[in-house]
Amino acid sequence: MRDVKIILKLMKWRNSDFCESALCRLLVVGVNIMSSAQVADAQIERQVIKILSVYFPAGRRKIEIGSRLVEDLYVDSIGFVEIAMMLNEAFSMEMPEAGVARWMTVADICFLVEKHQNINVRNALS
């Protein structure tokens, strides 16, 4: 909540005389970059959860970012492979086996997808 208040203040300052300073402009640019990265991360989270909800049969518990794959969602070894294949196809990427082996929660899956999306963007820019 504190971060939201700071962002709102910076957004107000952007349109004021105070924002003529280089420091203020730098802060506003940083906030804009951070907020767009957070939006992208939230979109990836929603996509991953949507893909997982298609994979799991009806009647399973609600899939959340903190859901544990084995304990809460009962994913077995074949399930990990199938989920990785679905994500590879959905995000047009190849998940590394070592990264998939470290998945414990839905958040771990999202982190790996986000990491590889960022790597793909950097490779495209270079």
Half-sphere exposure of 37 (CA within 13 A, CB side): 11
pLDDT, tens only, 40-95: 788 999 999 999 988 887 545 689 999 999 998 989 999 999 999 999 999 999 99
pLDDT tens for each residue of 34-50: 566 677 788 999 999 99
CA-based max dimension of the chain: 60
Distance in angstroms (rounded) separating the CA atoms of residues 30 and 23 = 10
Domains defined for the chain, CATH in brackets: 2-125 (1.10.1200.10)
Model confidence pLDDT, tens digit, residues 92-113? 999 999 999 999 999 999 999 9
Q: Which of 76, 82, 88, 85 is nearest to 113 (CA)?
A: 88
The rounded distance, in Å, linking the Cα atoms of 89 and 94 is 8
Q: How many CB atoms lie within 10 A of CB 109?
A: 27
CB hemisphere CA count around 116 (13 angstroms): 18
* Residues in CB range of 57: below 8 A, 6 or more apart: none
Q: Model pTM?
A: 0.66
